[in-house]
Amino acid sequence: MIRVAIVDDEPLVRTGLATILGSAPDVSVVSGCGGGDAVEAVRRHAPEVLLLDVRMPDVDGLTVLRRLAGLRARPRWPC
């Protein structure tokens, strides 16, 4: 099972992606959140894949990536 976290500022986008991805038998969407909650979601759920919106008003995706770089348990990159 592939664990996926979705980070986007639009709840409708998160829900849509979770619905599409969750329909695959080997994918589990473990988290959906905005940029401000992304680091904690990665810590808590340890996803293997992170779908990250780069342009978000609260905390942009590049800032999230910089914060994730310091975590011991983070999604693998580069992909």
Q: What is the CATH number of the domain that holds 19?
A: 3.40.50.2300
Domain count, the chain: 1
- Whole-structure pTM over 0.95, yes or no? no
Which residues span the domain enclosing 58? 2-69
Classify residue 11: in a domain, yes or no: yes
Q: Side chain identity at 71, as an amino acid letter? A: L
pLDDT in tens, the chain (79 residues): 999 999 999 999 999 999 999 999 999 999 999 999 999 999 999 999 999 999 999 999 999 999 988 777 656 654 4
